Amino acid sequence: MFPKWFDKWNRDNPTNIYGPAILVGALGTAVTVAAFLVIVGQPFKTESLQTGPRGNGMARTEFVSDLAKPDPAIEVMYTEAPYVPEGGEDLAGDIYQNVQVLGDLTDDNFNRLMLAMTDWVAPEQGCAYCHGDVELDEYGNDDLYTKVVARRMIEMTQSINENWDGHVNSNKQVGVTCYTCHRGLNVPSDIWFKLGDVNKAAGGWAAVQNKVTVQSQYTSLPSDALETFLLDYGRISVHDLEPHVAEYPSQEGVVSWQDTERTFSLMNYVSNSLGVNCVFCHNSRAFYDPEQVTPQWSTEQLGIGMVQEINNDYLVPLEGEYPPERLGPVFADAPKAACKTCHKGYQQPLQGTNVIADWPELATTGAPVYE
């Protein structure tokens, strides 16, 4: 059963039978592992994304196994090719009542988009989620807040695709639709509300930190960073690089350590939202130098501006339309968006899937272009 050398060694060393057995076992295990790696693939193999000029080591490394793992939301995303108008078709605005947006679409494309929005936002409730359980000729009524909000969200989506192309399509055409945020949910995940003082045992500055919250990404950093930077247009910056400076926080333009901690809180949130680390946007040797940042830094700056506009121009003004259960638990404020609302932990939402290709109606505030 065993090799001759094994039997001879066993006879010559009757008190030590484990050494060669361990050797044989180790060799067998090594062969098995090697065969597994050849067949299945190297689980620790990595790929690097270059983020800066060649030769300076500015790159972000990810495991190939993670990169190959698809976002499960992609597979179940509903899409349908548009009906290219031939000319002369009846338009939705002429057929249905109170079509304030999308009225210039053909009947086929209008209903195609309504069906898609139902699947993206309210797959369980269906059309009744916005229109109510009424007859078709009553669908023009604005009795439900969901319809009023949906109309404004269509306008917001069109604006994002048209005016923030530098962010959403920085690498290739991707675009956004309702599904980018909603993913089949009435209310998108990863929205946020104002929290105010989260540390009731303290007052002043200490009251907004040292408490685990979603906004602070479960750290002791300030919980009002999203409110400060993505709603109130706060200045994203850190304290002076010199250890001793002749300045005071009360002076105009002086960046305090409170501002610095809020900036760190926002940066931590952005990193978690996109599944990247700091050097995705910054040069590790000079975080503070805008001349040494990566191209992704500019994309992120546009993203911050886009979110500020989304919150201030579209989401916050809808506060009066929502019922109490849809408002914030502390200040009864409207739900707001941030990076994670779309990205969900990926560098690009839905891993860069071109979601707008079949929906030219959502790509522009003007007349859609069909190809």
DSSP string, 331-362: T-PPPB--HHHHHTTSSSGGGG---STT-GGG
Cα gap 60→101, rounded to integer Å: 43
In angstroms, how far is the first alpha carbon of the chain from the final one? 73
SS3 category, 352: helix
Residue type, 118: T
Helix (H, G, I), strand (E, B) or coil at 26: helix
Calpha distance 82→176 (Å, rounded)? 16
Cα separation, 82 vs 361, whole angstroms? 9
Cα(41)–Cα(326) distance, integer angstroms: 47
- Whether the CA torsion 53, 54, 55, 60 is positive or negative: it is positive
Q: Distances in Å between the alpha carbon of 50 and those of 163, 173, 264? A: 28, 20, 24
Q: For tokens 């930077």, what's the residue? A: 229
pLDDT at res. 54: 67
What is the per-residue pLDDT across 73-107, written as a single tens digit (0 to 9) for each? 999 999 999 999 998 899 999 999 999 999 999 99
> By the 8 A CB rule, do 159 and 296 touch?
no
The first and second tokens of residue 68, run together, are: 């190959």
pLDDT in tens, 228-286: 999 999 999 888 878 788 888 788 888 888 899 999 999 999 999 999 988 889 888 88
Low-confidence stretches of the chain (pLDDT beneath 50): none
CA separation for the pair 218, 270 (Å, rounded): 14
Which residue is it, tokens 């990404």? 217
Provide CB contacts within 8 A for 349, sequence distance 6+.
174, 176, 180, 342, 343, 355
Helix (H, G, I), strand (E, B) or coil at 50: strand
**pLDDT at residue 253, rounded to an integer:** 83
Which CATH number is 70-78+145-362 given? 1.10.468.10
Q: Which has the closest alpha carbon to 342: 156, 115, 145? A: 156
Tokens representing 306 are 């886009």
* pLDDT number for residue 348: 93
Beta bridge partners of 242: none
